[in-house]
Structure 1
Amino acid sequence: MLTQIQKLLLLISLLLFLNSCGSQSKLDSGASLPTNNPNSPINDTPTGEFTSDEKDFLYNLFITEYYWAEYTPQPFDTSPYLEPQNMIDALKYSPLDRWSFVFSTDNYNSFNRQSAFGFGCYTSYDVNNNLIVSYMDIASPAEKAGIKRGDIINTINGEVATEELFYSIQDERGKVGIFGITRAGESITVAVAAQYYSYKVSKGDIIQTINGEDVGYLRLDSFTDTATDELEPIFTKFKQLDIKKLVIDLRYNGGGSLNTASILLDKLVRDKDNQVQFTTIWNSSYSFNNESALFETDANSLDLEQVVFLVTSNSASASELVINSLSASYLGVDVVLIGSTTHGKPVGMSGAIYGDNVYYIINFAVANGDGFSNYFNGLPVNCPVEDDFTHGLGDVNESMLKEALHYIDNGSC
């Protein structure tokens, strides 16, 4: 686990993949940005005047600790820029940097507390142009009200369901959405009130393959600080049952805290103490920040033979770090990927605060114990399978999980 420098080292991906139902300092704790959330930083516009001092602060980040600092234009006229993100977009190394961004400290605090506003369910259109529920936060108002993944939303408060209508209702505090839903051919009505809520990011279960083998299933939606508390009882149960094969569902996990990723890796490997999990690699001028996270066996660390990851293009950053780290040759773990190629973000950022804004610019690359870090095109899968919105996450009949269980039984797709 990370034991030395506790700073805000994030592996975040700005993935808007689902639509939702001046002083300088370094942040000193990890965080997660669940970008499927309505409060996603990609939608967050910092408020207040973008002063010349703040512009100088931002430019200094790019010419000093930015991972691709050598490509930062010098000199650079900051005067035309009225918004921080516009200046970031002008400065970043566009051939590779798809991620550097700014958002508010208020939203940082919300993400760190695993809190949000709205219904907590997210939608997309299916091939028939139906508005369907694609995903829900664990313990969200939508989940508690009985909405399920795969529900077709036909009407909202008596009107034809559209994304725009969905947004307008869920953005208004206390507003009740009455959803006319089709589920498995039956029509039902569910009411949900837009509200502030706290959510969980993990669920664990024991499932069986067709051949009757017990397998652990872990759904992990984000690498928040508090996810580590959620993981403890899950892995204690897995340890008690001597689970040897584990399915980890990261299909919607866009990243988060390096520290949380390191702690998860400690749960997945035992008896490899002081061997390298991963190494952060900064630019040559900031190489004194390079640091390796080391394995540390916990009381509930597992002795796994095989780990199967369920992934999509929304699986990014810290999710990819865990997969890449576990794939190091000296660990001897059979790592299998089911789904579609991951996002491709082998880099992370150290958040810097100026006033009410938090600046996340790319600071470092991340390599596994074999030194591999070049997966900008994503990590390829062993078995390509499309996401299945007609079944809940963790349902053994859901296409990706079903394929994972088949692979565990048969050793092939």
Structure 2
Amino acid sequence: MKSKYIITTLLLGLIFTACSKDSDSNETAATKPDEINDFVWKAMNSWYYWQPNVPDLSDSKITSTAAYTNFINGKTPDALFYSLLYQRGTIDRFSWIENSNEIVSGSKIAEVEKKGGFSYGIYPKDASNTNMVALINYIVPGSPSALAGLKRGDVITKINGSPLTSSNYDQLENTQITITLAASVQFTNNSMVTTDKAGTVTITKTEIDENPIAYYEKKVYGGKNIGYLVFNGFKSDYNDELNLAFAKMQSDGINELVLDLRYNGGGSLETAVALAQMINGSFTNKPYIYLDFNDKHNSEDGFENLSDKVNIFNLVDNHPTFQREESINSLALTKIYVLVSFQTASASELTIQCLKKYISVITIGEQTVGKFVGSNTLYDSPAYGYTSYANRSTKHKWQLQPITFSYYNKDKDVNPARITPDYEINPYSTFLNLVEFGNVKDPCLKKAIELITGQTLRTTAKTTDASLPLKIDNLTAFNPTNTAKGLYIEDFKRLKQQ
């Protein structure tokens, strides 16, 4: 495994100045716009996708220095940023600002992150949507969670001694937590009943470079060589490992693929485009995705085409640095089966929406997040269009991650609110059957294999009570926004030249 380092995403090398400032040579310190907030407003004015819909981002806002200064001064950078979002929480659910000393979990497409090493989903225990549990999706090998003995399928009922609720589940993101696990889970009268294990487990976050290629296995059923690949993030510094996984599938004679994107919140656009070629590979130079920016950057609208090469990156000086190209290893498949959940977002949704224009994509699981937009990191580098990390101001460490474009498939079809799977699996059914990756007791994997083979698999999987449904609409509402890592462009200028 190659060495990896902490990264801040470097994207979109386009030079653009948001607006010209009404200069005033007699400007005093009292009337001078706050330097950081000036960066926040101007960068958003230039790049924010919904800039025309936000009156406070109108170009007219800067025509008067005094009025502009009065508007932006006196706010913290984050308060100003969030006040500029378009219908925050409904239309814009995904933009954020951060101080780079305090990396937001899931904010980068290639990085070492400080985390506990467990992925989880939040589920209400009943229709009141107040009492919650957290179901552990998977454990990162060698992480604090793995060393503490946590495993896929464990259910968290308490955080720091208090029952998990809609008000405190965000504490699962704290640097150190003490959790209580369920000893049993039962469903009755449309509610979940849990009993607790004795004792607690303490997890302290540490730096982890999570390999997004979490699991691969060849399965042979009914004369089919089925590849099962769990892919948990479009991290560009693992493009070579992803390509290597498909080389392994080639040598294994894989002729059917189950691609598990249930816990994949997105990531690099380049990785997403490369993945499509690894799956099929027959449509080199054909349009794959259409990107749409705001009116100030209409020149950047356009298609990204499929390529028979994949860009390989290493992390050097905290940045994804292009190393070389590799020829893509392709399975030449005309149909795939994709496992999805309420945590499947952005680049994962792109893979479904864009790839199905070329091959058959069968989806199994739950409704997805519905994130058909992307972003680029904006720095305080106005002379470089707010996109240059190398030329940023070093007086502060604030940086922005606003939505800057929307995406569509090659035919520019209108995206749905969320992707509804072809075969829906009740999310609560996994509580009794969420075993280790590859075990066909997993309801989603079991369904995929049955569809591939046309045969019913007989397993010892537990079935749920008929009263189970407990089907809560929009489970994404109970999960931290940062579970959706988004869609990011790794190197805008080079990508546009392909």
* Same fold at TM > 0.5: yes
From 285, 288, 293, give the equivalent of 2:296.
285
From 196, 206, 214, give the equivalent of 2:206.
196
Deviation string 1:3-26 (CA, Å, 9 cap, x unpaired) is xxx9526xxxxxxxxxxxxxx99x
2:143 is the counterpart of 1:99 = no
- Of 287-296 and 255-264, the range deviating more from structure 2: 287-296
Residue 19 (structure 1) aligns with: none
Deviation string 1:55-96 (CA, Å, 9 cap, x unpaired) is 222222333222222223134463376233433333222263
- The alignment partner of 2:339 has SS state of strand
Instruction: Confirm or deny: 8 A CA contact 1:249 1:311 kept in the other structure.
Output: yes
Instruction: Confirm or deny: 8 A CA contact 2:340 2:363 kept in the other structure.
Output: yes
Give the superposition deviation at 1:101: 1.4
Give the superposition deviation at 1:377: 0.2
Give the superposition deviation at 1:119: 5.1
Deviation string 1:166-190 (CA, Å, 9 cap, x unpaired) is 9589634xx8x58666379997978
Give the superposition deviation at 1:271: 2.7
Q: Which amino acid aligns with 1:366?
A: Y
- The alignment partner of 1:226 has SS state of helix
* In 1, Cα distance between equivalents of 2:225 and 2:202: 37
**What are the equivalent positions in structure 2 for 1:11-30 lying under 5 Å apart?**
none
Give the superposition deviation at 1:196: 0.8
Residue 249 (structure 1) aligns with: 260
Give the superposition deviation at 1:275: 1.0
Residue 3 (structure 2) aligns with: none
From 337, 340, 362, give the equivalent of 2:363.
337
2:359 is the counterpart of 1:361 = no
Instruction: Confirm or deny: 8 A CA contact 2:159 2:172 kept in the other structure.
Output: no
* In 2, Cα distance between equivalents of 1:343 and 1:166: 18
* In 2, Cα distance between equivalents of 1:90 and 1:130: 30
Tell me: CA distance 1:63–1:170, structure 2 relative to 1, closer, same or farther (3 Å). closer
Deviation string 1:151-176 (CA, Å, 9 cap, x unpaired) is 2457889x67657699589634xx8x
Give the superposition deviation at 1:304: 0.7
From 221, 241, 244, give the equivalent of 1:233.
244
Deviation string 1:364-405 (CA, Å, 9 cap, x unpaired) is 121222222x32501221011123133134322111111122
Q: RMSD in angstroms over aligned alpha carbons?
A: 3.6
2:439 is the counterpart of 1:395 = yes
Tell me: CA distance 1:62–1:121, structure 2 relative to 1, closer, same or farther (3 Å). closer
From 53, 67, 75, give the equivalent of 2:35.
53
Instruction: Confirm or deny: 8 A CA contact 1:339 1:400 kept in the other structure.
Output: yes
* In 2, Cα distance between equivalents of 1:371 and 1:63: 26
Q: Which amino acid aligns with 1:314?
A: Q
From 245, 250, 269, give the equivalent of 1:258.
269
- The alignment partner of 2:417 has SS state of coil
Residue 43 (structure 1) aligns with: none
Residue 35 (structure 1) aligns with: none
**What are the equivalent positions in structure 2 for 1:76-225 lying under 5 Å apart?**
76=61, 78-79=71-72, 82-94=75-87, 96-106=91-101, 107=103, 111=108, 112-118=110-116, 120=118, 122=120, 124=122, 127=125, 131=133, 133-139=135-141, 140-153=143-156, 162=164, 167=171, 171-172=175-176, 182=183, 193-198=203-208, 199-208=210-219, 211-225=222-236
Which stretches in structure 1 are left out of the alignment for 5+ residues?
1-5, 10-23, 26-50
- The alignment partner of 2:444 has SS state of helix
Deviation string 1:281-325 (CA, Å, 9 cap, x unpaired) is 212331222343222233411111211111122211111111111
- The alignment partner of 1:278 has SS state of strand
Deviation string 1:24-58 (CA, Å, 9 cap, x unpaired) is 99xxxxxxxxxxxxxxxxxxxxxxxxx72222222
- The alignment partner of 2:307 has SS state of coil
Residue 8 (structure 1) aligns with: 11
Tell me: CA distance 1:58–1:375, structure 2 relative to 1, closer, same or farther (3 Å). same
Tell me: CA distance 1:90–1:265, structure 2 relative to 1, closer, same or farther (3 Å). same
- Of 218-227 and 389-398, the range deviating more from structure 2: 389-398
Residue 64 (structure 2) aligns with: none
Q: Which amino acid aligns with 1:403?
A: K
Residue 383 (structure 1) aligns with: 423
* In 2, Cα distance between equivalents of 1:360 and 1:178: 31
Give the superposition deviation at 1:351: 0.9
TM-score of the pair, normalised by structure 2 = 0.63
Q: Which amino acid aligns with 1:120?
A: F
From 54, 61, 66, give the equivalent of 1:72.
54
Instruction: Confirm or deny: 8 A CA contact 2:217 2:438 kept in the other structure.
Output: no
Percent identity, aligned pairs only? 26
Q: Which amino acid aligns with 1:182?
A: A
* In 1, Cα distance between equivalents of 2:180 and 2:150: 9
Residue 348 (structure 2) aligns with: 319
* In 2, Cα distance between equivalents of 1:261 and 1:90: 32
Residue 348 (structure 1) aligns with: 374
- Of 334-343 and 62-71, the range deviating more from structure 2: 62-71
Deviation string 1:254-286 (CA, Å, 9 cap, x unpaired) is 111112212222211213211112122212331
* In 1, Cα distance between equivalents of 2:221 and 2:196: 30
Which stretches in structure 2 are left out of the alignment for 5+ residues?
1-8, 18-32, 62-67, 186-194, 309-326, 381-395, 457-498
* In 1, Cα distance between equivalents of 2:132 and 2:376: 40
Tell me: CA distance 1:229–1:144, structure 2 relative to 1, closer, same or farther (3 Å). farther
Deviation string 1:183-227 (CA, Å, 9 cap, x unpaired) is 799979786652414222222423437535221111111212223
* In 2, Cα distance between equivalents of 1:384 and 1:339: 5
Residue 279 (structure 2) aligns with: 268
- The alignment partner of 1:394 has SS state of coil
- The alignment partner of 1:308 has SS state of strand
* In 2, Cα distance between equivalents of 1:232 and 1:190: 40
TM-score of the pair, normalised by structure 1 = 0.74
Pick the structure with greater CA Rg: 2
